[in-house]
């Protein structure tokens, strides 16, 4: 983003600036789709979601992200890597297993 003058820009301003000028935004921000109404922006979002957002875990996902470009729908997040984390109350929370005390 630095090379196009958008480094440090808030998500809404960034998406507005890219909308209609870029086809795809590649990000590691797992909250972007929950924080923004993507219907307002004319671009697709590809989320690279490794277990940890560190280079050695991001690099293997780059070919998968690029492969997702042709089918990534606009106004939506396409995730490569781990599934997007669920938001809200745990719908399928399991009760805690009893632990053995000594």
Tens digit of each residue's pLDDT (9 = 90 or more) over 89-101: 443 333 333 334 3
In this predicted structure, the answer to whether residue 102 has a pLDDT above a threshold of 70 is no
pTM: 0.76
- Contact 7/14 with Cβ under 8 angstroms? no
Q: pLDDT tens across 52-63, in order?
A: 889 999 999 999
Q: How confident is the model over 57-70, as a mean pLDDT?
A: 95
């Amino acid at each position: 983003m630095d090379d196009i003058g958008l480094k440090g820009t808030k998500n809404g301003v960034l998406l507005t600036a890219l909308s209609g000028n870029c086809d795809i935004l590649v990000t590691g921000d797992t909250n972007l789709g929950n924080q923004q109404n993507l219907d307002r922006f004319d671009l697709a979002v590809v989320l690279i979601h490794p277990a940890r957002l560190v280079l050695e875990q991001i690099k293997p996902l780059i070919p998968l992200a690029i492969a997702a470009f042709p089918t990534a729908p606009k106004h939506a997040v396409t995730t490569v890597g781990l599934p997007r984390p669920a938001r809200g109350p745990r719908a399928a929370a399991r009760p805690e297993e009893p632990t053995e005390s000594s």
